[in-house]
Amino acid sequence: METPAAKKEWKLRWILLLLTLPLYVIDQWTKFWTIRTFPPPWEDGGASQIVVVEGFFNLRRVHNQGVAFGFGNGSDWAPVVFLVVPIVALTLIRLGVKKKFFVGNWGLVAVALLLCGIFGNLTDRLIQGSLLEIMQGATLWERLKEGYVVDFLDFTIPVVNYRWPCFNVADSCICIAAGLLFFTGLKADLDQKKKPAADK
């Protein structure tokens, strides 16, 4: 007979297979489509774009070498930080699953989304710089330093006319996962407070 822990582990594996893997493929496909469709940002200053909804949503190619929202772009420390952060994040996720920090099915969905986001952007960091023609013959470290995340979703908030920093599918997965973790944690806390004192 399967224990509850075994059932939970099996369920997580299926969520990873049915959610993380397809989203990772979509993330990589859309990024390579962006690279094939638009010229490098240094050739046209990032001016090339496809207007999807006028004044609200465009598709364009952006190279993000920073940590988040372009922070640290072009710095020497950002590539190092971005290679260390996924290792730390994966370690924390593994501990969180083991300690049952991720509550219920939605918590497991959050894990699946986080893994897609981490692996999607890490893949970019490791290979995109190496694919640039200008990096042919460069050392491994130089290629890694030129690694970047491909962003292409470009939104403008009409009311305040604010252009949100470009992002991608992996970024979206991480943001949704963060929201799920917040609400599942809040719900678990509220449920705990509702329990009678004898049940605690």
Tell me which residues are annotated as active site: 151, 171
Matching residue, tokens 């030129």:
146
Half-sphere exposure of 10 (CA within 13 A, CB side): 6
